[in-house]
Structure 1
Amino acid sequence: MTLALAELLGTSQTWLALALLVFLRVGACFLVLPTIAEQYIPARVRLGAAVAMTVLLAPALAPSLTDSAARLDARIFFTEPLAGLLLGIAIRLMVHALQIAGSMAAQATSLSQIAGGAAPDPQPAIAGFLMLAGMALAVLLGLHVHVARMLLESYDILPAGEVPVAGDLATWGIGRVAASFRLAFSLAAPFLVASVLYNVALGVINKAMPQLMVAFVGAPAITLGGLAILFLSTPIILPVWMRMMQAVLAAPMTP
């Protein structure tokens, strides 16, 4: 009986150490992961989601992490949260691309002040709309499944207990931020092109008819045009963004 209890105690300690090892990475990732880390999600829900993901991943990772769990040391408490934050930030930057694209579109079409403070973070309504629609689309297309696969495969790229090389992290961070801004500019391109054409046309009309108050005539036109472009381009913007999101979920540490 004593031997059985000792064996059970040893097994339970190993599993608890393994669960802690996985939870450090999962919990840090869920701190910044889109949808689950939003301000309007209660902290208890975030914690419950992180624990549930840990329970799901721990048995699958047991064969490869048993040795790391057995020699649990202080370095693990630095490397695992760092790895989780890097993974979460890679996904968060994709959502920021939608926010930046929406802000650019709103500024270009004079829609930046419509419902600007309705969201937890002050932002134009178009940015909030695109972010909410993008996150809803990601959840509908199985974001949780992609995140679970990403966390499982992340131990091949970021092994437990190993500190990433600073130079590689710098290259990765610059590449991911640059890719986010490139995507944002591409998504907002229809609004920017329409804004350039509108301002050129307004300048020509003002030159031809100086006595006409073109600003009063043109302001409603650019607002209506911006809403029309939003209505027509959103079914194209969101699938393009979702493909890029799936690519990042498949390879989050690619610069």
Structure 2
Amino acid sequence: MMLDLSPILLLGQGFLETGFVIFLRVGGLMAVLPAFGEQFLSARIKLVLSFAFTLVVAPAVAAPVQAVGGGAIILGEALIGLALGVGIRFFVLALQVAGTIAAQATSLSQLFGGTSGEPQPAVGHLLTTAGLALAVMAGLHVQVAALIIASYDVLPPGQLPDAEALRAWGVSGVTRTFGLAFSIAAPFVLAGLVYNVALGVINRAMPQLMVSFVGAPALTLGGLALLAIAVPSGLVHWHASFTTFLNDAFGGAW
């Protein structure tokens, strides 16, 4: 009987080894993945999501994974997954930076507060929550699964990623983050500039008027109105850039 079961046991052992290698990359990605890897989610939920993504990805990448072996694969797969997750996390940082810029430009930085694990102004919390909700509604789980599968063509298992390519890819991600953040917060920066220039002109024309007490409520009201007008278009622009990155995350840098 044991001889009859040995082929099944060997098959099961091979499946577990392949699944473990895939889980290393998926787990590294899931640690910092937006929406699915947030700090307020428990470790159990993240673990279940990692197993689910592993089961989804495994049939498509089992062949290249089975052909590799060795202890270095553990470090390499975890590093690749973490790098992919950080590349996606940059887009959440762009929303947080845009919220900080907008809050400082319109004096809304101390209005209420964020409830996430990372301290940030209310505007940044609003942008981050809305952006994550938009991404999940647009099929973030499908796009992430496709990205993981595509990563095995660019970054095959069993070897460490090229350090120079990883550095260039990370620098381009940081550059894209701040450019995207400023483009989202540009209306608030321009509105703050116009407000301060107008306040200076009024102060020069009427020195006896306490312009700061008159202008502060107007700035808050204008900031809230601009928030309602500019945020939807800013989120559309952010999601377009986010989708473009997921469809071509490597961009020939590897």
TM-score, normalised via structure 2 length:
0.96
Structure 1 unpaired stretches of 5+:
none
Q: 1:201 aligns to what?
A: 198
Q: 1:210 aligns to what?
A: 207
1:51 and 2:71 are equivalent in the alignment: no
1:182 and 2:182 are equivalent in the alignment: no
Residues 87, 253 of structure 1: 8 Å contact kept: no
Distance 1:122 1:220 in 2: 25
Q: 1:224 aligns to what?
A: 221
Q: 1:20 aligns to what?
A: 20
TM-score, normalised via structure 1 length:
0.96
Distance 2:3 2:59 in 1: 25
Distance 1:127 1:209, change over 3 A: same
Tell me the CA shift for residue 234 of structure 1.
1.5
Tell me the CA shift for residue 181 of structure 1.
0.3
Distance 2:187 2:60 in 1: 45
Distance 2:86 2:138 in 1: 20
1:92 and 2:81 are equivalent in the alignment: no
Distance 1:121 1:61 in 2: 35
Q: Which 4+ residue blocks in structure 1 deviate beyond 3 angstroms? A: none
Q: 1:5 aligns to what?
A: 5
1:77 and 2:54 are equivalent in the alignment: no
Distance 1:90 1:31 in 2: 12
Q: Which is further off, 212-221 or 111-120?
A: 111-120
Deviations 1:107-157 (A, max 9, x none): 000000012354322110000000000000000000000000000100011
The SS at the match of 1:113 is: coil
Q: 1:113 aligns to what?
A: 110
Q: Which amino acid aligns with 1:96?
A: L
Q: Which is further off, 111-120 or 134-143?
A: 111-120
Q: 2:160 aligns to what?
A: 163
Distance 2:18 2:133 in 1: 32
The SS at the match of 2:67 is: helix
Q: 1:66 aligns to what?
A: 66
Q: Which amino acid aligns with 2:151?
A: S
Residues 64, 156 of structure 2: 8 Å contact kept: no
Distance 1:30 1:174 in 2: 22
1:172 and 2:169 are equivalent in the alignment: yes
Distance 2:108 2:92 in 1: 20
Tell me the CA shift for residue 4 of structure 1.
2.9
Cα RMSD after superposing both structures? 1.1
Q: Which amino acid aligns with 1:85?
A: L
Identity %: 49
Tell me the CA shift for residue 64 of structure 1.
2.5
Distance 1:225 1:40 in 2: 33
Structure 2 unpaired stretches of 5+:
none
1:138 and 2:135 are equivalent in the alignment: yes
Q: Which amino acid aligns with 1:19?
A: G
The SS at the match of 1:188 is: helix
Q: 1:30 aligns to what?
A: 30
